[in-house]
Amino acid sequence: MTRTLIVVGHGMVGHRLVETLRDRDTAGAWRIVVLGEEPRPAYDRVALSSYLDGKSAEDLSLTSHELLDDPLVELRLGTAVTGVDRTARTVSTSDGDVLGYDALVLATGSRPFVPPVPGHDLDGCFVYRTIEDLDAIRAAAAEGAPGVVIGGGLLGLEAANALRLLGMRAHVVEMAPRLMPLQVDEGGGQVLGRLVGDLGLTVHCGAATKAIEGDGRVRGVALADGTVIDTELVVFSAGVRPRDELAEVAGLERAERGGILVDEFCRTSDENIWAIGECAAVQGRCYGLVAPGYSMAEGVAEQLLEQGGGAFPGADLSTKLKLLGVDVASFGDAHGQTEGALEVVYANNAAGTYAKLVLSDDARVLLGGVLVGDASAYSVLRPLVDRELPAPPEQLLLPAGSGVDAGALPADATVCSCNNVSKQDITTAIGEQGLTDVPGIKACTKAGTSCGSCVPMLKNLLGECGVATSKALCEHFPQSRSELFEIVRATGIGSFSELIGRHGSGRGCDICKPAVASILASLGHGHILDGEQAGLQDTNDRFLANMQRNGTYSVVPRVPGGEITPDKLIVLGEVAKEFGLYTKITGGQRIDLFGARVEQLPLIWRRLVDAGFESGHAYGKALRTVKSCVGNDWCRYGVQDSVSMAIRLELRYRGLRAPHKIKAGVSGCARECAEARGKDFGVIATDKGWNLYVGGNGGFTPRHAELLAADLDDERLIRLIDRFLMFYVRTADRLQRTSAWLESLDGGLEHLREVVVEDSLGIAEELEAAMQRHVDNYSDEWAGVLADPAKLARFVSFVNAPEAPDPTIRFVHERGQIRPGPVALPMPAVATQEVSR
């Protein structure tokens, strides 16, 4: 018999309970009703700040279509619980319903704490908790104006960074003598304060807020020492308080310092009611991190399914984050509160790094630590907490990562604390499931899918298991594609035979030949059908057209930005009619002409080239299109000229050979009609310029592009795209799309931003120069064939009968056009509706 579970709250923890229960409840024992007070389903509140850094609410969503369509899950949004009748086992809702339950779980989370200072309710005061809060902050923010964040903890610095992203001059007011007082010690706080100050934030530590001043709207923040900070916006981020009001409504016990009191099984004083997440006080203590909440949710799921266990195992309060580009991490007993604890500190003020280990009194067991400025050692150090050190403390504190690797971790060490995944869980999955990459580990174990701090360790564990992917391009080249690129660039080698003779072995294969052909083309070594290069190409590149399933080819001329004149439209129609081609408008704002035989291709190209068209490179691993909306010329919502920018970009990057195809888009406003965030690079107009997004794609695994830089003028935008594309062309693996490349980069988007925007490697000028060489040396590949009789000779169906068409090609008529028909057999039987060309 199916029982009913009501879950009050659809935040991250409530969602994890629903997700876990449905995964494990194979018999369908529970029907779940979720009552969510917010107007949207669960989203990643840990990554909330990324909403102001380019991510959409959809990007942050945790709720899958499978769950929404699950007949055993009912999700009711915008619905608050107003009453609980424990005797009748019912809850009353804000929309007037009374719902019965067999089990009730309270996952109501917490609310921001707003200090009761005078003026805290003035217009211009905000909290930092929900997507709606961030929408309100964005609407109120004014570029160049001051903004004040009350609270210098984790969320306070995130809020300050949000104001910074919105163009405001941010101040942080913290009552404690240092920033992030719960996570870092005095030494770490000093380094953090200096690094944050260098980034443009004004920090006021040891400062109490006396009042918010204003005349109906915020005008200033008065501190206890008499200082007044002029401001037009205040964000309160001074901590949270558990949402425990339903405990009073239901007559449940509350903890002395707030929170719904629960035992080690997260059960309240009513055996049919549980509480999990930030609203729950486990044996009197509330936890403000998502990882303990996930553990509670999974434990309650075990109890509901009577699987045994389910006790809360305690909380790992370790944190690792990047605030304003600054690494900060703390783990274990970060403040050395254990009796007899010893501290080992490494500080490099010049480099802006600070590291501290807290050890047992015999200096053998790691108790905790703090890392600021460089947290690369975190993935190894955190799992070693409460374990004997595998190396001397000074070796563990070496800059740029510890002196030990994944092999030093015991099998039962927790690698992913967010999802409680041990080293053994991961290595077992690698072995049993044949996993070969980090995305596979994420999908199989959930490790690395929350905060992401354990991802470097996942890579190390792949290596420990002996399944690290070889960098060799193939059996003929021990080098990776990026290494071969640098070899060709540095040596000037201009042919495959010379490259394999000097740096490889054998005769090559269908992996290395096209890859080297792409490298040679990227570096401007002549037409792709010149001499030896012609034999290296894939089928499509060999004939500069896309082969279709019946052996014919499609022709796609370039239409920059989707803009085309009536005269050119007429030419396309005339060509299609003359050669009997099937015509279709593509998703990239071009016209595709299908059904051309190989010997017809040069004839079609001649008509198109004479009319001013050129190759659209639909056949190549190259830039395909730059899609655009109509922009501010025609659209009443447009704020920039997206058409002109799309044309400029497409003409600049046309013909650029790359590891994979490249698609782009330019949208004239945030309505995103060009779908720019689904492209390898996308540009979206703002009233201040352009936002640049990178690493998106559609296809089998869709991925939204991420914001690389904001509010750029035209020239800065183009310089950053130049750098991005050339860095990708140089360093990506064979057939690696920009989305996969970005995910594979150590440091991900942040590293890419450092290289492309901040020029951390000092190669920006070189990348720009390389792109300019491409622009200067571009020539149309179709026109190059038409001008060369030797190349033209390749375009025949039969070498011994150049004029003869392929007799196996057949078409049938449908909807006024042709489509591929059945392959012709040797017998002369042709149906009347077929046409042979």
User: Within 10 A of 321 (CB to CB), how many other CB atoms are there?
Assistant: 20
Bridging pattern class, strands 234-236 and 146-150: parallel
Q: What is the DSSP letter of 269?
A: S
Does 279 show up as a binding residue in the annotation?
no
Continuous H helices in 25-72 = 57-60, 65-68
Q: Nearest CA to 356 among 339, 380, 331, 383? A: 331
Pairing status of strand 125-127 against strand 234-236: parallel
Residue 699 sits at φ, ψ, to 5 deg, of 80, -155
Nearest in space to 133 (alpha carbons), one of 245, 13, 64, 45: 45
Q: Which two tokens stand for residue 164?
A: 């910074």
Integer Cα distance of 273 and 276 in angstroms? 10
- CA–centroid distance for 320 within its chain: 18
- Got the DSSP string for 543-568? HTSEE-TTS-EEE-B--GGG---HHH
Q: Residue 586 in contact with residue 617, Cβ under 8 Å?
A: no
Q: What angle do CA 600, 601, 604 make, to 5 degrees?
A: 85
Using an 8 Å Cβ cutoff, are 592 and 554 in contact?
yes
User: Based on the number of CB atoms within 10 Å of its own CB, is 283 exposed (0-12), middle (13-18) or buried (19 or more)?
Assistant: exposed
How far from 808 is each of 5, 330, 350, 676, CA to CA, in Å?
64, 70, 74, 42
Backbone region of residue 446 per phi and psi (left: phi > 0; alpha: psi in -120 to 50; beta: other values): left
Residues 6+ apart with CB under 8 A from 393: 344, 357, 359, 363
Would you call 714 helix, strand, or coil by DSSP?
A: helix
Which of 29, 8, 32 has its CA nearest to residue 19? 32
Contact 461, 423 (CB under 8 A): yes
Q: Does the annotation flag 629 for ligand binding? A: yes
CB 812 within 8 A of CB 834: yes
AA letter at 515: A
Find tokens 């050669």 and name the residue. 579
CA-to-CA separations, 817 to 190, 196, 594, 814, in angstroms, rounded = 73, 64, 10, 5
CB atoms within 10 A of CB 764: 20
d(CA 532, CA 521): 13
- Residue 642 is inside which H or E element, if any? helix 642-653
Q: Helical H runs in 358-495?
A: 378-381, 393-396, 423-433, 438-445, 455-464, 481-491
d(CA 402, CA 387): 16
Check whether 635 is labelled as a binding-site residue: yes
**Structural contact between residues 172 and 204, judged by C-beta atoms closer than 8 angstroms:** yes
What's the N-to-C CA distance of the chain in angstroms?
67
Q: Can you tell me the distance from the alpha carbon of 81 to that of 108, in angstroms, rounded to the nearest whole number? A: 10
Backbone Cα Rg of the chain: 31
**Cβ of 337: how many Cβ atoms within 10 Å?**
10
The strand pair at 260-262 and 280-282 is best described as parallel
Q: Which amino acid is at 558?
A: R
Return the DSSP state at 455: H
- Is residue 768 within 8 A of residue 719, CB to CB? The reply is yes
Eight-state DSSP code of residue 333:
S
Structure tokens at 310: 């389910």
Instruction: Using CA atoms of 552, 558, 562, 565 in order, give the dihedral in degrees to the nearest 10.
Output: -100
Annotated binding site: 629, 635, 669, 673
Annotated binding site for [4Fe-4S] cluster: 629, 635, 669, 673
- Residues at the binding site for siroheme are 673
